[in-house]
Amino acid sequence: MTIVLYFIAKLISILLEVVSTAMLIQALMSFFMPGDDNRFYLFLHAITEPFVMPVRFILNKLGLLEDSPIDWSFVLAYILISILTMLLPAI
């Protein structure tokens, strides 16, 4: 049973690493290749948006950081994924 839990935790850790890497690539692409006509950018957006959307919903619900030019929901989602990735092996 311990081995099964280890493999599940490792799989989740790998998937979270993929998502955080996709978020980093998407953030860099938004600076150098703006526009919604890039298929790779739309693919990255489809991967990362399920992780960013709940954070964006909570920030909008609380009325926090509305006037900021920075997308703080994206930054906070990246930080939360990084923390979860670091804590997952300890479980």
19, 43 Cβ separation under 8 angstroms:
no
Region for 79 from its dihedrals, namely left if φ exceeds 0, alpha if ψ lies in -120 to 50, beta otherwise: alpha
Confidence bin at 90 (pLDDT 50/70/90): low
pLDDT at 91: 61
Distance, in Å, from the CA atom of 71 to the CA atom of 77, rounded to the nearest integer, reads 10
pLDDT digits (tens, 9 = 90+) for 30-63: 888 776 788 888 899 999 999 999 999 999 898 8
Distance, in Å, from the CA atom of 79 to the CA atom of 73, rounded to the nearest integer, reads 10
Q: What is the pTM of this model?
A: 0.83
73 pLDDT exceeds 70? yes
What percent of the chain lies above the pLDDT cut of 90? 49
